[in-house]
């Protein structure tokens, strides 16, 4: 089973990505009560989805506040390889 996102315009369904299947398959189409963005090229649709996911994950930066990711002085002097 696979799901795909797209939009319906003038009675035709347009998928945002290619659907891979062999032979004839039974399918269900659910029409949502929300408008689709204006007709966008595939590249524009990709970046719109990218921006949406970036906004959704903006508050996830706290994951890197963990002690393992903290920067601490090591107590060692940096090595200068150009002096050798």
Would you give per-residue pLDDT tens digits along the chain (84 residues)?
A: 778 888 888 888 888 888 888 888 888 888 888 887 666 556 777 888 888 888 888 777 666 666 666 666 677 787 888 876
Contact status, residue 41 vs residue 57, Cβ threshold 8 Å: no
The contacts of residue 21 (CB under 8 Å, 6+ apart) are 2
- Cβ atoms of 45 and 16 within 8 Å: the answer is yes
CB 7 within 8 A of CB 14: yes
In angstroms, rounded to a whole number, what is the distance separating the alpha carbons of residues 51 and 57? 10
Structure pTM?
0.35
């Amino acid at each position: 089973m696979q799901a795909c996102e797209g939009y319906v315009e003038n009675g035709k369904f347009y998928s945002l990505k290619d659907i891979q299947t062999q032979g004839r398959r039974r399918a269900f189409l659910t029409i949502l009560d929300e408008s689709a963005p204006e007709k966008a090229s595939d590249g524009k649709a990709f970046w719109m989805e990218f921006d949406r996911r970036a906004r959704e994950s903006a508050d996830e930066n706290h994951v890197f506040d963990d002690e393992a990711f903290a920067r601490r002085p090591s107590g060692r002097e940096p090595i200068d390889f150009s002096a050798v």
